[in-house]
Amino acid sequence: MKLNSFKLLLAAAFLSLAVAPAAYSAAEKEPNLDANVDVSDKVSLARGAKYYANFCMGCHSLEFSRYNRVATDLGLTEADIKPLIFTRDDDDNIHKPGALMVNALRTKDAIRWFGIAPPDLTVIARSRGGGDWLYSYFKGFYKDDSRPFGVNNLYFPNVGMPHVLQELQGLQQREVDADGNPTSTLTILEPGKLSVGEYDQVAKDLTNFLVYVGEPAQLHRTFYGILTLLFLLVLLVLSYLLKKEFWKDIH
């Protein structure tokens, strides 16, 4: 690489560093809750995948991942994953396990219904800087009659998405302070099917799943890291023995 193009690349890298943190700051008014993301918890990941298929996939594709890749990574069989496939191909056949996780929602319809097309969520955890924002967002819906779907979100003001998990969580309300100004405290107004703790787990499972989907390789990275260190350790011993062998007659 010529020096000039190298300099250009370096400048671009620094520029993107400067711009990246500002990208979402407008929406992030509240400090995020701590999701305690744990992608090694495969049971949680599998539950997250199930919730995702049932509650999200109709609107949000995961078009950079495949059903069978998710199944393999999560320790599920094809038989386990098949009931989670609701999406269909152009000939209206249910997708095969090897298919990309796309859905049939047409952008034009989505814009008519929601004002904006639901984004693909394959890399949402990365673009939102990890799982904490997602976890907060799933717990951030509250009643707001001025909004088209009757809800707003503490972490995504005036969001265009309905609260699709309302039957599980129930409906929250936003508390006001003594002067009547809205605070960041949300409390349950109408209970849903789940207790607060159970819903927290759902939010966490979904978050774990989306963090995993954004970078499936992270499940195996630690394993390869340890393997590499072990290899280097063995190499160190061998090199030392070799060195001793080479130098033994010189002293």
Residues that bind ligand HEC (CB under 6 A): 55-56, 58-60, 114, 116, 118-119, 121, 124, 128, 134, 137, 159-162, 164-165, 206
Cβ closer to ligand HEC: 126 or 220? 126
Amino acid in position 137: Y
Q: How many residues are there in the chain?
A: 251
Cβ closer to ligand HEC: 150 or 160? 160
The burial of 117, by beta-carbon neighbours within 10 Å (0-12 exposed, 13-18 middle, 19 or more buried), is given as middle
* Cβ proximity of 37 and 130 under 8 Å: yes
Cβ closer to ligand HEC: 1 or 26? 26
Cβ closer to ligand HEC: 47 or 128? 128
Tell me how far, at minimum, the Cβ of 144 lies from ligand HEC, in Å: 13
The label of the residue with tokens 């599920």 reads 76
Tell me how far, at minimum, the Cβ of 58 lies from ligand HEC, in Å: 5
Q: How far apart are CA 27 and CA 22, in angstroms?
A: 10
Backbone angles phi, psi at 66, to 5 degrees: -115, 150
Tell me how far, at minimum, the Cβ of 118 lies from ligand HEC, in Å: 4
Q: How far apart are CA 45 and CA 161, in angstroms?
A: 23
Structure tokens at 245: 């062998």
Cβ closer to ligand HEC: 39 or 56? 56
DSSP H/E element including 247: helix 218-247
**Nearest residue to ligand HEC, using CB?**
56
Tell me how far, at minimum, the Cβ of 211 lies from ligand HEC, in Å: 12
Cβ closer to ligand HEC: 48 or 216? 48
Q: Is the dihedral of CA 108, 112, 115, 118 positive or negative?
A: negative
Q: How far apart are CA 13 and CA 170, in angstroms?
A: 44
Q: How far apart are CA 26 and CA 192, in angstroms?
A: 31
